[in-house]
Amino acid sequence: MSLVVYVAAAVLATAALLLVPAGPRLLPRTPLTTSTCVAVALGACCFACSAPATLAAVNELTGVPNFGAPLTYSTISAYSASLLVLLINWRGGPPGEVRRMVSRIIAAYGLLIVAIIVLFALADAPVERLRDLDTYYARTPYMREMISLYLIGHAVCAVIMIVVCLRWSRTVGGLLRTGLRLIMWGLVLDVAGFELTKITAVAARWAGGDLDWLSTSVAPPVVSLGALVCSLGFVLPRLLPAARGHWDSAKDCRELRPLWEEVKAVTTAPKPSPAWWQLPKSRLQMLELAIHDALLQLVPAFDLGLGRRVLACATSRGHAPDEARVISEAAMVVGAAEEARSPAPVPHDAGVERDGRDRYPLPATSGTKELVRLAQALALLPHFHESRATVR
């Protein structure tokens, strides 16, 4: 059982680290991001605390039999509060109203945690139980109330979340709707696999029966699955857009490599050398900056005669005017880069401003998309080899 619980805790902790505002800046530092991180991290703590191995270690460290029980129940209550706070921040609204609702949730579950601790202190629970404490002490004074309180607190949170997510998901679409549906189904698993099984097992003890297997064998794996699905619903709408952006940036970096290979010999161009841990967006920014600087150095050496010949040829072959212009600019970039690598006299109609006339402007590469188009045009240049020939 400990292995299953620890795996769930590790997955949730990983999700929290991906979202943490102090780490890679995939997301801005906002109340929504912070509450998401806190909720997912507390979910991981719940699983870590509830593992039998952890309970045994906590009990031995404190010297108090079953001290791990109020610790786990308090963490579950804090997790329930964090889910409600996250939902409030997610839905948004007037800042004052949001703050009041968050304060009420924190106050209510804070009192619940205090009550759990007080009831445990009043109870007599000398026998250590690592797997079946809920049912073993179901009829013990104060322990009975403590167990009932934490189950009720978590059930109230789960039911509210299910109802709100169901209603909200009917009014939105896209990733937000997917995330809300995942949260809802994760909480349904939580209610069915944790709340109902625990309550049924405890009620059976109250009635003199024995259904402990529901609490010890059914609840842990089902609630682990439910928490993972629920956390995926919270994380997916927050991480996927950023992950998609980095995926696109990595693709653009690959597309721009041929263009960089052509112009990197320009001595004044900075050589992009990002560290291995830098995200694709940072790598793309460095590469774009280097290419722009290189183009600034190459424009004065553009062969306008070559550009006109390639432009005419591309137009005659059916390319759209804008596409033909990009192809002609790619040809001039290649020609200027070749000249920069091996300087020689310039007998052609160069774009250098000698008498205030005929200076070619910087290619229209203000954005990533334009640079990528220029890089892609390089692959078309072999088809215009004859047009590129110049008399030297």
pLDDT of residue 202: 93
**For tokens 């308090």, what's the residue?**
74
pLDDT band at 389; cut points 50, 70, 90: low
pLDDT band at 130; cut points 50, 70, 90: confident
CB count in 10 Å sphere of residue 110: 13
Q: How many residues does the chain have?
A: 392
Full set of structural domains in the chain with CATH: 2-247 (1.20.1070), 280-388 (no CATH)
DSSP-assigned beta bridge partners for residue 303: 350
The model's pLDDT over 225-256, given as tens digits with 9 standing for 90+, comes to 887 888 788 778 777 777 787 788 889 889 98
pLDDT of residue 172: 82
Task: Reply yes or no on whether the pLDDT at 388 is more than 60.
Answer: no
Query: Any idea which of 12-16, 213-217, 352-356 has the lowest mean pLDDT?
Result: 352-356
pLDDT of residue 276: 59
From the list 191, 102, 103, the residue with the least C-alpha distance to 154 is 191
pLDDT of residue 94: 87
Residue 320 to residue 343: CA distance in whole angstroms: 34
From the list 11, 91, 78, the residue with the least C-alpha distance to 46 is 78
Mean pLDDT over 162-184 rounds to 87
Residue 174 to residue 90: CA distance in whole angstroms: 15
Quote the percentage of the chain above a pLDDT of 70: 83
The model's pLDDT over 358-370, given as tens digits with 9 standing for 90+, comes to 456 656 556 788 8
The model's pLDDT over 48-73, given as tens digits with 9 standing for 90+, comes to 888 888 899 999 999 999 999 999 99
